[in-house]
Amino acid sequence: MKMASHRENNIANYQIISILGHCFNQLAVVQLAKFIPTGAMVAIKKFDMDKIKEAYLVESEIILTRQLNHPNIIKYIVAFVSGPQVCVVSPLMAYGSCRDLLSRHFNEGLCEPAIILIIRDVLDALDYIHKKGYIHRAIRGSHILISDNGKACLAGLRYACPIVLNGKWQRSIHSFPSTTERNLNWLSPELLEQNLKGYNEKSDIYSIGIVVCELSNGIEPFAGMSKTLMLTEKVRGYAPSILDSTTIPRDENIESGGDCEISTNILNRRFSDDLHEITNLCLHREAYDRPTAGQLLTHPIFKNNKRLLPLPELLKPALPLSDRVGYDTV
Amino acid sequence: MDSNMCQTSKSFDSETAEADASYEEENEHEIATAEFGEEEELKPVDSRPNPQLWITRNSSHADFDDDLENINISNFFHRVDSDQIIYQSKKRRLKLVGKYVMGDLLGEGSYGKVKEMLDSETLCRRAVKILKQRKLRRIPNGEQNVQREIKLLRKLDHKNVIKLFDELHNYEKQKMYLIMEFCVGSLQTMLDSTPDKKFPLWQAHDYFLQLIEGLEYLHSMRIIHKDIKPGNLLLSLENQLKISDLGVAETIDLFAKDDTCFIGQGSPAFQPPEIANGLEFFPGFKVDIWSSGVTLYNITTGRYPFEGDNIYRLFESIGKGVFTIPPEIQEPLRDLLLGMLEKDPYARFSLQRIKRHTWCTRQPSPEGLPKVPVPPLRGDMWHSLTVLPYLIEHYYDEPLEDASEDDGSQHEYITERQLNEMDERRKQRDRTFVVAENSNGNAQSSSSSSKKSSRWKKTISCMSFKTIPGCKQS
């Protein structure tokens, strides 16, 4: 990465346009801004360091993100200190996160081609991260951002941990990520078990499985469930699935008398066998049985991408942010 | 050597013997009942028509020991065969303290039990030190020491010093809960599990460097630990060493001109000559250097530099400061041990000197002896979450695996022999499981887990989160 020039380090050169969202447990704000010298739209993440107790997490996220260089991993243009805040500038991800897309436009999930395109990009990034010797540990919809040309980028690297310790590639990792409360539903059973067996990079693959469910169903499995029940469900080997006509037993649903109201849309749709297979592969209880990111990328489901529509088409009616801003300001 | 010599002197009084005995008793009992949960939940019941007086492992000796001297014990106690002692098994009950789910016993500290806990919000594993006010008052300076430890721990934050996360009080039961970092065992429990009672050099080196790092932090906070020994050095899941038990630690006043101390507390075998000789005052930080030296000697040789049949002989030997290092210990470790176990505290190595020492800067090759692992906890080599069976019982309300395999019949009453048999069987199964897992386990274990979950596959789906039929929310 080129050294940031003086003007990029100066908060005065950014014209704040609006708030995009919050992160880091509401202690950081993400703003849409225009970099005045060039007119480029960027996203500025501002961490309020007076309120953040785990300052090392902010630090490690910046250090790690700037060490990585991959088209599907979020880039930091520059990071600087401004008063009590640490500011991180990155290119604008015009569609926001997958979580945003699901809550705003796709309450019942994305269409299969969109899921395939997004997951392929994330797997590319994950393969790269694992080969660099890190476990992401926070793969989830809100950490996957979509750019205006439909490229998925992985973010949220503050939870990542190195696989290499004392110059040695560790067979298993035992650390439990701190402030990981909001990621718990996506984490693998072996990571949550916190025993001497530990976990490895396959833990991220489990999270990919949960993300596939999240993108397909509109909400992640175990949402709204008590954390302890989620834990026992995972440890006992319950594997969530993507919901369609094959996975929801029709009669039972009617019998239970609206116990869980599932729309006819979901009841009648049909995901491909390949997508079901990918989900099941990722959600194996035993890490050993899950494929690596590299192996998953060779799955036939990712082979025929050329024939798919580009992601921005598939995401309609959602519009990229820059276009929306255009409407608002005209 | 007498095990008392390795215990902190705060418990050195007439109560020690009794406390030790009851510790043994409770501990044994705890292991036997581990499958069924808390010891309060297994109560001896009187199921026979003509009850005779019998004593169980659980009965309170306190009722009797006042008059023991005046009574012929054989008249007083009736002998009872072990399978006539009957326990009633209750179901595992989920117990919550604040937001924490209670698990099984991890160990016994000087002041009370240490149990495992699970934070139900973050799902992070924790350990809890349970302090009973009633018990504390019986120990000299008990309450005062605990308050001091809490005050200290609250302000400490270092990867090699045990962390205190939370404090809870139950005024009704007069109990205090200190929520701490979860650890899998102490260096002492690891040493005890090996035949030679020592670590391979490279492993000892790893722990020693972490000890020095933690000690450097404590000293920088003007804290003298005063009770450094393998039993107080715990290991986290990540194999990180955590200095624990600051019960007798002393903080040097911010405006004191040096680290002079006047009181020596701690475990006799690890005390320096200046304390053994009863000096009026001595430099405090060097006390920790000495006990770290004894610790290093102990974990590398399996022996103690100074021994004695009783505390007077031991202190006599320490006071002279003469000791030998086994010939298998080579330079530069010899030199380091001699420097740390220097009789004159002013000539004794400082932390800086130790850190720069050749033995510390050069890592011994990880060859030779294999690594000493953390010994299994009640037969579980992986130290799995002990909270899990309670949660499963709570959410699924189905008989435990153990019970279902138990001849299919639900025992309401369990004799001690049956209890032991079940324990034995469980151990055997654990052993076979480990073997199976090592050979071709993955397929096997995943199939068994899918079988177990089949009952729930239908009810809990991704969308049925609004209500979960049959499940009690915690």
Q: Which of A194, A243, A266 sits opposite B385 (nearest CB)?
A: A194
Place of tokens 């507390």: B265
B227 belongs to the catalytic site: yes
Res A329: pLDDT: 45
In angstroms, rounded to a whole number, what is the distance separating the alpha carbons of residues A39 and A24?
A: 28
| E runs forming strands in B45-163 | 86-88, 96-97, 100-108, 112-119, 125-132
How many other CB atoms are there within 10 angstroms of residue A130's CB atom?
A: 20
Distance between A187 CA and the closest CA of chain B, angstroms: 11
Superfamily of domain B185-361: Transferase(Phosphotransferase) domain 1 (1.10.510.10)
Residues of chain A contacting B453 with CB distance shorter than 8 Å:
233, 236-239
Q: What is the pLDDT of residues A76-107, one digit of tens each?
A: 999 999 999 999 999 999 999 999 999 999 99
Q: What is the pLDDT of residues A161-204, one digit of tens each?
A: 999 988 889 999 999 998 888 999 999 999 999 999 999 999 99
In angstroms, rounded to a whole number, what is the distance separating the alpha carbons of residues B238 and A161?
A: 13
How many residues appear in chain A?
330
Domains plus CATH for chain A?
Answer: 6-91 (3.30.200.20), 96-314 (1.10.510.10)
In angstroms, rounded to a whole number, what is the distance separating the alpha carbons of residues B134 and B113?
A: 13
Domain ranges in chain B are: 43-88+399-430, 96-181, 185-361
> If residue A62 lies in a helix (H) or strand (E), which one and from where to where?
helix A55-67
Inspect the interface and report whether the beta carbons of B392 and A232 lie closer than 8 Å: yes
| E runs forming strands in B66-174 | 86-88, 96-97, 100-108, 112-119, 125-132, 164-170
Inspect the interface and report whether the beta carbons of A221 and B462 lie closer than 8 Å: yes
Residues of chain B contacting A181 with CB distance shorter than 8 Å:
121-122
Task: Work out the average pLDDT over A67-71.
Answer: 95
Does residue B173 have a known ligand-binding role? no
Res A267: pLDDT: 83
Instruction: Supply the mean pLDDT for chain A.
Output: 89
Q: What is the pLDDT of residues A276-324, one digit of tens each?
A: 999 999 999 999 999 999 999 999 999 877 778 888 889 888 888 766 6
- Nearest residue on chain A to B464, alpha-carbon basis: A260
- What percentage of residues in chain B have a pLDDT greater than 70? 64
Inspect the interface and report whether the beta carbons of A224 and B466 lie closer than 8 Å: yes
Q: How many CB pairs under 8 A join A and B?
A: 137
Distance between B437 CA and the closest CA of chain A, angstroms: 11
How many other CB atoms are there within 10 angstroms of residue B146's CB atom?
A: 20
Res B21: pLDDT: 38
How many residues appear in chain B?
474
Task: Work out the average pLDDT over B191-203.
Answer: 93
Res B278: pLDDT: 87
* Residue B246 · residue B196 · CB < 8 Å: no
Q: Which of B123, B446, B453 sits opposite A227 (nearest CB)?
A: B123
In angstroms, rounded to a whole number, what is the distance separating the alpha carbons of residues B89 and A7?
A: 73
In angstroms, rounded to a whole number, what is the distance separating the alpha carbons of residues B468 and A225?
A: 8
Res B26: pLDDT: 42
- Nearest residue on chain A to B374, alpha-carbon basis: A196
Cβ burial of B168 (10 Å; 0-12, 13-18, 19+) is middle
- Tokens for A300? 């036939």
Distance between B448 CA and the closest CA of chain A, angstroms: 9
Res B435: pLDDT: 41
Res B400: pLDDT: 47
> If residue A78 lies in a helix (H) or strand (E), which one and from where to where?
strand A78-82
ipTM of the complex as predicted: 0.89
Inspect the interface and report whether the beta carbons of A238 and B453 lie closer than 8 Å: yes
In angstroms, rounded to a whole number, what is the distance separating the alpha carbons of residues B33 and B105?
A: 11
Res A301: pLDDT: 92
> Concatenated DSSP letters for A113-176?
HHHHHHHHHHHHHHHHHHHTTEE-----GGGEEE-TTS-EEE--GGG-EESEETTEE-S-B-PP
Q: Which of B457, B467, B473 sits opposite A238 (nearest CB)?
A: B457
Residues of chain B contacting A229 with CB distance shorter than 8 Å:
391, 395, 468, 471, 473-474
Inspect the interface and report whether the beta carbons of B465 and A225 lie closer than 8 Å: yes
Q: What is the DSSP letter of B47?
A: -
Q: Which of A227, A252, A284 sits opposite B120 (nearest CB)?
A: A227
Superfamily of domain B96-181: Phosphorylase Kinase; domain 1 (3.30.200.20)
Task: Work out the average pLDDT over B411-423.
Answer: 58
The gap from C-alpha B15 to its chain's centroid, in whole angstroms, comes to 21
Cβ burial of A298 (10 Å; 0-12, 13-18, 19+) is exposed
Q: What is the pLDDT of residues A134-160, one digit of tens each?
A: 999 999 999 999 999 999 999 999 999
Choose the catalytic residue: B104, B206, B227, B423: B227
Is there a cis peptide before residue B332, judged by omega within 30 degrees of 0? yes
The model's confidence at residue A22, banded by pLDDT at 50, 70 and 90, is confident
Q: Which of A224-233, B128-137, B199-208, B383-392 has the lowest mean pLDDT?
A: B128-137
Distance between A36 CA and the closest CA of chain B, angstroms: 42
In angstroms, rounded to a whole number, what is the distance separating the alpha carbons of residues B93 and A157?
A: 39
Residues of chain A contacting B381 with CB distance shorter than 8 Å:
196
